[in-house]
Amino acid sequence: MSRLEHLTPAASKPWLIASAGIMWSGVGLMLCSLAYGWLLPVAFPQVLWMAFAGILLASTIYHFGFSKLAEKNIQRITDIAGDKICIFAFQEWTSYPIVAVMIGLGISLRNFLPIPKPYLAILYIGIGGGLFLSSMCYYKYLLRPNQQR
């Protein structure tokens, strides 16, 4: 083992898959909690429509986007040779710049653009809900009996 490999933070494949699920769940819940706070001052009939739009967007993002990405990540992790894998491998390296752009876009939308927060909540529920729902793919994989993996 080289000196660099010795310093690389590594985890077993099940821990890596669990870490990815926890990360996706945490970010999804954080985004949804921000949206919840923004929807609190909205009047009753309108808040239902906004929440419904966010939930509809979340299910669409889950079905057509994030669930496929989660399954792809699980397959990629399980295909990596070796027992211990770098902990940053729960995402493809090409995904990290996309994540950075999404974080920057989220900060910009929240702080610099004149979009009312209740309308922004629809997008945050959509992305946060999609992430949270897709995190279940990781947990489902971990709960399968070993012979099915």
Write out pLDDT tens, residues 37-54: 999 999 999 999 999 999
CA-based diameter of the chain, in Å? 63
Q: List residues bridging with 10 in a β-sheet.
A: 86
Describe the crossing of helices 117-143 and 95-111 by its angle, rounded to 10 degrees.
150
What pTM was estimated for this model as a whole?
0.88
Residue 25 has pLDDT above 90, yes or no: yes
Indicate the pLDDT class of residue 5, thresholds 50, 70 and 90: low
**Cα separation of 12 and 88, whole Å?**
12
Residue 11: predicted pLDDT: 87
Average pLDDT over the chain, rounded to whole? Answer: 91
Q: Map residue 113 onto helix, strand or coil.
A: coil
H or E, element range at 92: none
Q: Please name the residue that has the structure tokens 């099915």.
A: 148
Sign of the CA dihedral with 140 first, then 142, 143, and 144 last: positive
